[in-house]
């Protein structure tokens, strides 16, 4: 399992002048031109220090995280039950996760040898590194913290120690080495606007029949 160590986070990445140039050139607003971005091992091109560590870049697939951690033995069923809980919570309030400006979230359980691991992957438009506390607040509201409590190494005093919660997230964040966007840099808001426009236009045509 690759896990970025604390010392690794503080290191300056190697210069990638050609890559930077390439990335700048590719970073266009042309949604019709699919793009990929290869990302250095550090998870970023140039070190930009955020409040809790380096800031990870926006890619053609948007902002995101991939948190991977080993679960405590015997907690798999409880973790799986969370799926139903969140489904019901969202049925009751479909906009509960709106502040994150999400595209997708994925929760996965998988084995490595005899051990069970948990993966939580999100793709969204907000800069997670900048709004981390808001995300943690949402995790609490939606009960995701109850899953985190089943993960090894999670600080059980997280309720009174949010920085420790954030540190755990960052220690278990595995940066992508490649991300791809079929419609690069398009936000969820823009997609929803386009769909609404299509719907309204379709309605208008129907009413003109």
Partner 1 sequence: MESTVLELDDIQHFLISRPPALTARYEFLMFHQPACGRAWLKGILDKVGTAKNVGSNEADSRWVTIAFTWNGLRALGVNETSLATFPEEFRQGMAARAEILGTTGANHPEHWVGSLGSPDLHAIVVLFARNLAERERSTREHRKYLVECHGVEALSSLNLEAIPPFNYAHEHFGYRDRLSQPAIDGTGDVPTPGSGPPIKAGEFFLGYPDESGTRPALPQPEVLSRNGSYLAYLRLEEHVGAFRDFLREHGETADEQELIAAKLMGRWRSGAPLTLRTDKDDPALGADMQRTNDFNYGTMDPYGYGCPVGSHIRRMNPRDTAENMQRRKMIRRGGTYGPPLPEGAPEDGVERGIAAFVGCASLVRQFEFAMNVWVNDPKFKDLGNERDPFVGTQDGTFDITLPKRPIRKKIKGLPAFTTVRGGAYFFLPGMKALRYLATLEDGS
10 is a site residue for partner 1 (CB under 8 A): no
Smallest gap from residue 112 Cβ to partner 1 (A): 32
163 is a site residue for partner 1 (CB under 8 A): yes
Smallest gap from residue 123 Cβ to partner 1 (A): 18
The size of the chain, in residues, is 209
- For residue 100, the 8-state DSSP code is G
Gap between the Cα atoms of 199 and 18, Å rounded: 43
**Phi, psi of 111, deg, nearest 5:** -100, 145
To which H or E segment does residue 91 belong? Answer: helix 76-92
134 is a site residue for partner 1 (CB under 8 A): yes
13 is a site residue for partner 1 (CB under 8 A): no
HSE-CB of 5 using CA atoms within 13 angstroms: 3
Q: Is 140 helix (H, G, I), strand (E, B) or coil?
A: helix
30 is a site residue for partner 1 (CB under 8 A): no
Smallest gap from residue 159 Cβ to partner 1 (A): 5
Which stretches of the chain bind partner 1, using CB under 8 A?
48-52, 99, 127, 130-131, 133-134, 137, 157, 159-163
């Amino acid at each position: 399992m690759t896990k970025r160590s604390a010392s690794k986070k503080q290191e300056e990445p190697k210069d990638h002048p050609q890559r930077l140039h390439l990335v700048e050139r590719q970073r266009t607003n042309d949604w019709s031109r699919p793009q990929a971005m290869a990302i250095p091992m550090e998870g970023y091109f140039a070190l930009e220090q955020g409040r809790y560590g380096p800031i990870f870049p926006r890619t053609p697939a948007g902002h995101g995280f991939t948190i991977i951690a080993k679960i405590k033995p015997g907690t798999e069923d409880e973790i799986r039950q969370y799926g139903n809980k969140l489904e019901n919570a969202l049925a009751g309030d479909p906009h509960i996760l709106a502040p994150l400006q999400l595209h997708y979230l994925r929760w996965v359980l998988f084995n490595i040898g005899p051990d069970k691991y948990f993966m939580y992957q999100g793709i969204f438009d907000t800069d997670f590194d900048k709004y981390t506390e808001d995300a943690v607040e949402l995790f609490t509201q939606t009960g995701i913290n109850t899953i985190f409590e089943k993960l090894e190494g999670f600080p059980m005093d997280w309720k009174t120690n949010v920085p420790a919660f954030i540190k755990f997230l960052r220690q278990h964040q595995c940066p992508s080495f490649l991300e791809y966007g079929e419609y690069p840099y398009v936000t969820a808001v823009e997609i929803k606007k386009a769909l609404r426009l299509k719907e309204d236009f379709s309605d208008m045509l129907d009413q003109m029949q």
